[in-house]
Structure 1
Amino acid sequence: MVGLERGTVELEPYRKEWVDLYEEEAERLQNIANDWFLDFEHIGSTAIEGMLAKPIIDILAVVETLDETEDLISRLEDHKYEYRPEDVEGRLFFAKGPHTNRTYYLSVTERGSDFYEEKIAFRDYLRDHPEIAAQYSSLKKRLAETYPENREQYTAAKGDFIQDVLERAMNS
C-alpha cells in the first residue's frame, strides 16, 4: 500500500512491492506521454532496499528538454497529476493522489542535468553502501518521531546528512 497525507511524516519498512508499483506507474506514464518521456528512474527511499521510507513512490522521468512543456503539464494534469511549481532548478514536480493520500511524486528533468545526476548518484551511493543507508534510515526514524506533522522541518533536518552523502557520491 502507498499513500500519505500531505505535510505529514510516517515511515514504513521497505517493501518489495514498491518496485512493482514504480514499474506499473512508469508504464502508465509512458502510455500517457510516450512522445515526451525518454526514460524513467525509481528514486527516493522507496528505491533503496532495506530503507525506511514514506510510502510515496518517487519517479524521475527524463525528457529531451524542459523547454515548452505546457502540453506535457496539461497532459499529466488530465491524468490526475497535480503540477506543483517550485524553485528547484532543472525539474518540473508533480504529485498524484488527493492531499489526504499522496501516492506518487513525479520529477521531470533532462538527462545529464544537475538534478538528474544528483538524484541518481545519491540513490546509487546508498544502494552500494548499506552502512550509510542504515545511518540514513536511523536519522529518518528519529526525525519522523520529532516532526510527525511537519514535513518541511523533517526534510530540512536531513539536509546536512544528504549533502555529505551527495558530496561523497559525486566525487566517487
Structure 2
Amino acid sequence: MRHVHVVPYNEEWLQAFQQEKARLEAVFGSLLVDVHHIGSTSIPAMAAKPIIDLLPVVHDITEVDQYTTQMAAIGYEGRGELGLPGRRFFRKGGDERTHHVHVYEAGHEDIARHLAFRDYLRSHQEEARTYAELKQQLAAQFPHDIEQYMDGKDDWIKTTEQIALRWYQQQS
C-alpha cells in the first residue's frame, strides 16, 4: 500500500503544472484542445497530496491510445480508462507519483464536473478549508491505506460536486 501524505499548499505546484502542460502540448500537438490544472494542487492554499492532476481535452479520445509510447518517453505509464469510460489515464512517478493525467474528449460531461469542483473551491474558501481539514484528518487516520483515505473523502466530494455543478452552471 502507498503511504498517504497530505502536505500544505506549495506555490511551486502551479509552475509544475505549467511545465507539464508544455510537455503534453508537445506530445499531443494538434489533437489537444486545452489542458486544465485540476485537483487539490490547483486550489490556492489547499493542503494536498503532492500530485499534480492535469486534464487535457482532446478532439478525439480514440486517438490518444496512439500516444502511449510518446507519453512513456516523458515518464508516464498508460492505464487506459481505469474504470471511467471515455477517459484515458496516465500516471507518472510509480509508487511515488508526481502527476496524474486524465484525458477526455471535448464535450465529455466529466470535464465540467472537474472544472466546477475546482472553481467552486477556489471561490468558496470555507468549503476549501473544510475539505483540506477532512483530507488531513483522513491522512492521519489512514497513513498507510490509500483506499480508506479515498473512501473517507468520497461522500464529501460527491455532495460538493453536485453543489459545485449547480453553482458552475449559474456562472456561465
Answer whether TM exceeds 0.5 for this pair: yes
Percent identical residues:
38
For residues 2-151 of structure 1, the aligned pairs below 5 Å read 7-85=2-80, 86-99=82-95, 101-151=96-146
Letter of the 1:122 counterpart = F
Instruction: Report if aligned partners of 1:89, 1:115 keep a CA contact under 8 Å in 2.
Output: no
Deviation at 1:159, TM superposition (A): 0.8
Report the secondary structure of 2:46's partner residue.
coil
TM-score by length of 1: 0.91
The two structures, once aligned, show a CA RMSD in angstroms of 1.3
- SS of the aligned residue for 1:69 comes to helix
What are structure 1's unaligned runs of at least 5 residues? 1-5
Aligned length: 166
- Single out whichever of 52-61 and 31-40 deviates more from structure 2: 31-40
Q: Distance between the aligned counterparts of 1:134 and 1:70, measured in 2?
A: 38
**Which aligned runs of 4 or more in structure 1 are off by greater than 4 angstroms?**
none
CA-to-partner distance for each residue in 1:138-162, whole Å, 9 max, x for gaps?
1001100111111111111101100
Matched residue of 1:77: which SS? Answer: helix
* Greater share of residues in helix: 2
In 2, the alpha carbon distance for the partners of 1:29 and 1:90 equals: 19
Gaps of 5+ in 2: 168-172
In 1, the alpha carbon distance for the partners of 2:17 and 2:72 equals 19
Residues in 1 aligned to 2:59 and 2:157: alpha-carbon distance in whole angstroms: 28
